[in-house]
Structure 1
Amino acid sequence: MLNQLSRVWCHAPGSVRLLQISVRLSAACVAAGVLAACVQAPKHMYNWKSYQPAVYAYLNDDGVDYAAQAQDMELNVETARSSNTALPPGFRAHLGLLYLKLGEDSKAVEQLQGEKLAFPESTSFMDFLMKNLSPASAVPQTDESGSNDTDPNGGTSELKNLKKEGA
């Protein structure tokens, strides 16, 4: 009698279907869990940490300390190096402009050269900035007032003016 009762219960049309659904549902949940465990967080292409706030503060010119900004950006360079991520476009150029404001021309040129190497499409602009930065390659010309703030092309060197304003 027990054998007949168990046979009827096991072969009831609803119970077999319910068992199949629960097995499939369990297998789908396990598969989704395994796939979710394999997913990694997306890796960012560039290390933006201090760049955007530095540019914002620089453009607002609300009494920011250029030395502190340059130091923060240098820390960002080290962080990017250690995490093996690239610096964003314009990062080195902005750091170079900060160094210009601080009067550190050699560091500025180094950063502008780095920008040029990292992003070849910026070559002509970086060359323009460096050409106007150091008139050492050309004979400095003097204007009527006796100052030598003109570049070889007869125009005023914008970078020299930037440097004078920041110093």
Structure 2
Amino acid sequence: MDSSAAWTAVLLGSLVLAGCSTPRTLYQWEGYQEQVHEYFKGESKEAQLQALEADLQKIKAKNGAVPPGYHAQLGLLYSSLGKGDQMAREFEAEKALFPESAPYMDFLLKNTRGGAN
């Protein structure tokens, strides 16, 4: 085998191996989608909140990024449990991470504060 054929074989082998690698996703979902499903099924809000908070810690430990809506879902759960300060904190976090959510987060904040915003 001459050197150009050897280099071609190495190059093709490298491309095949590179094509097999698993790409890193933009967001780390953990159990987010499952918890949203549980929310709509009417399952325990406390259990959902605990699961999402635990997953948030895992995502932060990996230096990952939460998906859009993650903090908003936490905020809705806090709101349903009567924890307005924590709800507002989560809605503000959602706005900071995803500025396009600001109009909706502001709407939710205004409605939960009785129109005072």
Tell me the TM-score normalized by structure 2. 0.82
Residue 53 of structure 1: CA displacement?
Answer: 0.7
Tell me the equivalent position of 1:33.
13
Alignment equivalent of 2:37, drawn from 39, 56, 80? 56
Q: Verify: 1:123 aligned to 2:95, yes or no.
A: no
Q: Deviations over 1:55-108 (max 9, x none)?
A: 1111122xx111111111111211221222211111111110011111111111
Q: How many residues align?
A: 115
Q: Verify: 1:43 aligned to 2:24, yes or no.
A: yes
SS of equivalent residue, structure 1 residue 103: coil
Which has the greater radius of gyration? 1
Distance in 1 (alpha carbons) for counterparts of 2:30 and 2:84: 25
Tell me the equivalent position of 1:103.
82
Write the letter of the residue equivalent to 2:98: F
Tell me the TM-score normalized by structure 1. 0.60
Greater RCO (CA < 8 Å, at least 6 residues apart): 2
Residue 137 of structure 1: CA displacement?
Answer: 4.0
Residue 27 of structure 1: CA displacement?
Answer: 5.1
Distance in 1 (alpha carbons) for counterparts of 2:14 and 2:104: 50
Write the letter of the residue equivalent to 1:66: K
Instruction: Name segments (4+ residues, structure 1) moved above 2 Å.
Output: 26-35, 37-41, 135-138
Change (3 A) 1:43 1:130: same
Distance in 1 (alpha carbons) for counterparts of 2:38 and 2:22: 30
Structure 1, unaligned runs of 5 or more = 1-18, 139-167
Structure 2, unaligned runs of 5 or more = none
Distance in 2 (alpha carbons) for counterparts of 1:37 and 1:90: 32
